[in-house]
Amino acid sequence: MSETRLLLQSSPHVRDVSSVQGIMHTVILSLVPALIAGVVFFGWRALAVTVVAVASCLAVEAAILRLAGKPVKTALVDGSAIITGLLLAMNLPSNLPFWMVGVGAVVAIGVAKHAYGGLGNNPFNPALVARVFMLIAFPGAMTSWPVTTCNGATDVLTAATPLGIMKMEGAAAAMQAASWWDLFIGNVGGCLGETSALALLLGGLFLLWRRVISYEIPVAFIGTVAAGTAVAWLVDPTKYPDPLWQVLSGGVMLGAWFMATDMVTSPVTRKGMLLFGVGCGVVTCVIRLLGGYPEGVSFSILVMNGLTPLIDRYVKPARFGAEAAQAEGGKA
């Protein structure tokens, strides 16, 4: 009767109530505990950095959409720019000058997202591209970490992160500077959203429960970091702290639960996700234990983002019926 009865569309064909907007709002909610932890440990400056990051990401997004002649309003309310802004802020020290945060937003949204074609087309995680860009652009400001408020801090006081201490002074000094408990609740120096393993774990489990992410990438990522650092610990415990300390410190929790699991830039199959997580873990260990930087989580995720198309190409699920056909062919 009507001509719309035969719809030709590419996969996926399954219809579901979940939408881009719904998923984005769940992710925003899951980041709230880590944000609260950031404000608790680094003061109101942490919140200010977050607000500036989100606002400038939204502004850049709106400006580019307008320039490109695309609908501005629908793309703004889908929440993707808000998440990029939130994740960007979580990857920054809380005492960073605001104009640098703005530069980061321009790089995240303008370069890493829209230069590649916008939402769904970016090969690299926008927030991480911006973080690494800023690390190279502002090496001084991006590596001066404020001390947490519990240790009598103001904006003025800075100190090395536990991983930085590990690199320079060895395991004993690092573990004295930050106990397991400090790392778990987040009472250590670092980016404003990465320090509290507890808050990040809460958010990550919430995402898992709401099925926004699946367990493969975080488990493979964290497991590989634990395994790799365990080897180093057994070889030389004076130089390298134990694996639990390693997993709780730095950006592993933030990276494994929130950054590596980004749907656009990670593989689509379960096997591919496991491979992706293991790869992230291996690169992180190599940089942490052998490289020049104290922490390698953001680099590791970007490297694996680059390998994602290759993983998706070689780790394919069997076509429906393909296994049976092969078995039959074997018999004959």
Q: Which of 21, 74, 121, 139 binds other proteins (CB under 8 A)?
A: 139
Q: CA 258, CA 128: separation in Å to the nearest integer?
A: 11
Q: Which of 29, 77, 115, 231 binds other proteins (CB under 8 A)?
A: 115
> Which one of the spans 58-66, 136-144, 203-211, 276-284 is the region binding other proteins (CB under 8 A)?
136-144
Q: Which of residues 78-107 bind other proteins (CB under 8 A)?
A: 99, 103
- How many residues touch other proteins under the rule CB under 8 A: the total is 9
Q: Does 303 bind other proteins (CB under 8 A)?
A: no
Residue closer to other proteins by CB (options 108, 178) is 108
Angle, helix 44-68 to helix 98-105, in steps of 10 degrees = 40
Q: How far is the CB of 135 from other proteins (least distance, A)?
A: 9
Q: Which of residues 3-42 bind other proteins (CB under 8 A)?
A: none
What mask of x and - would describe binding to other proteins in positions 54 to 83, judged by CB under 8 A?
------------------------------
In the chain, the amino acid numbered 165 is I
First to last CA, the chain: 47
> Which one of the spans 10-18, 132-140, 146-154, 324-332 is the region binding other proteins (CB under 8 A)?
132-140
Q: Which of 40, 59, 137, 268 binds other proteins (CB under 8 A)?
A: 137
Q: CA 305, CA 299: separation in Å to the nearest integer?
A: 10
Residues that bind other proteins (CB under 8 A): 99, 103, 111, 115, 133, 136-139
